[in-house]
Amino acid sequence: MAIGIFLIVHYNLHSFFMDRERLSELLASYGATSVFLFISLQVAQVVISPLPGDVTGLIGGYLYGPVLGVIYSTIGLSIGSWVAFALARMLGLPFVERIIRPATIRKYDYFLEHKGLAIAFVFFLIPGFPKDTLCYILGLSHMKTRNFLVVSTAGRLLGTVILSLQGSSLRENQDVFFFVLLGVTVLIILGGYFHVGWWLRSVIRERRRSRPALPPPPAPEGVSKPAEGRPDGKQG
């Protein structure tokens, strides 16, 4: 992974992955075997977080159409999500902290622990959310691998479908349809973040209510504590 990141930075491959036309030409030049290369790219863009996933999703629809684009992207994204999840589970927190900032891990730790599958599904559902980061964080949790695969695959499906349709519309020069889908994506993002923000505020309120009451402060030195009995401290 370290060698891969070095090569990406050294040869400026990140800008290459951002160039939709160049990447499409590269994949198309491989003919029938381009499908396996495309799936490998989808796996890599999940495991190696700096690679942009939206671009590869567009290319899937651009090259293979909306149906096959969704199928190939889903295969690659599911495998990549499982690899990231498994790496985090096997190598633990020290490994994940080299990829993700500790502050980011702490930010989602309590939230995911108490909301579990439901909030993880919402995170995967929101287009543009850093789902690759989420795969590593969930690998540190107690979530079962089976549940993770269901949540991550089902949650990513909406964004995958939209990107594949957008890529197909670019190929067919359907600019109006492309911008309609873009508007739908923006609405989903705004609605998703609003819902998550409301959910986060409710979690914070629950945490405040569940905190134990603070013990009373100790009496100042030199002041004797009245004996138990009558309110004035005198024995009955």
Assess contact for 60 and 73: CB atoms under 8 A.
Answer: yes
Q: What is the pLDDT of residue 54?
A: 73
> What are 40-89's pLDDT values in tens digits?
888 888 887 655 567 788 888 888 888 998 999 999 999 999 999 999 99
Question: Which of 46-50, 181-185, 215-219, 229-233 has the weakest average pLDDT?
Answer: 229-233
Q: What is the pLDDT of residue 78?
A: 93
Cα–Cα dist 7/19, whole Å: 17
> What are 128-159's pLDDT values in tens digits?
778 888 888 888 888 888 999 999 999 898 88
Q: What is the pLDDT of residue 77?
A: 92
Q: What is the pLDDT of residue 208?
A: 61
Q: What is the pLDDT of residue 117?
A: 78
> What are 1-40's pLDDT values in tens digits?
566 555 555 545 555 555 556 667 777 777 778 888 889 8
Q: What is the pLDDT of residue 216?
A: 57
Residue with structure tokens 């996933």? Answer: 53
Q: What is the pLDDT of residue 206?
A: 65
Which residue type does 67 have? V
> What are 212-224's pLDDT values in tens digits?
554 555 655 555 5
* 34 closest CA partner among 55, 56, 18, 51: 56
Cα–chain-centroid distance for residue 195?
A: 16
Cα–Cα dist 146/138, whole Å: 12
> What are 81-125's pLDDT values in tens digits?
999 999 999 988 888 888 888 877 777 766 666 566 777 888 888
Assess contact for 182 and 189: CB atoms under 8 A.
Answer: no
